């Protein structure tokens, strides 16, 4: 089985609750198999069975209340 991952920068996360919220929302995207959030760097790595569209990730991050600032 192959997988694809992409790393994004998210702004506005300040605590563990923020991390959990982003992980939860991004994890709801169909095809996502793993979400790794690094609070210190603001990096969010999304892994899926196939590439996950940036638009879907952006929408999930915004739903969580944060902003995707870089890919």
**Domain-by-domain residue ranges, the chain?**
4-70
Kindly report the number of other CB atoms within 10 A of residue 52's CB atom.
Answer: 22
Assigned fold of 4-70? Alpha-Beta Plaits (3.30.70)
Most distant CA pair in the chain, distance: 35
Rounded to the nearest angstrom, the gap between the alpha carbon of residue 13 and the centroid of all alpha carbons in its chain is 12
pLDDT class of 63 with cuts at 50, 70, 90: very high
Cβ(30)–Cβ(4) under 8 Å?
Answer: no
Cβ(66)–Cβ(22) under 8 Å?
Answer: yes
Per residue in 14-46, pLDDT tens? Answer: 999 999 999 999 999 999 999 999 999 999 999
């Amino acid at each position: 089985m192959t997988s694809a991952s992409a790393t994004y920068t998210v702004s506005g996360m300040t605590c563990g609750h923020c991390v959990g919220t982003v992980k939860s929302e991004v994890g709801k995207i169909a095809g996502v198999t793993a979400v790794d959030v690094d609070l210190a760097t603001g990096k969010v790595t999304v892994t899926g069975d196939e590439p996950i569209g940036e638009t879907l990730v952006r929408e999930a991050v915004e739903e969580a209340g944060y902003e995707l600032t870089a890919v």
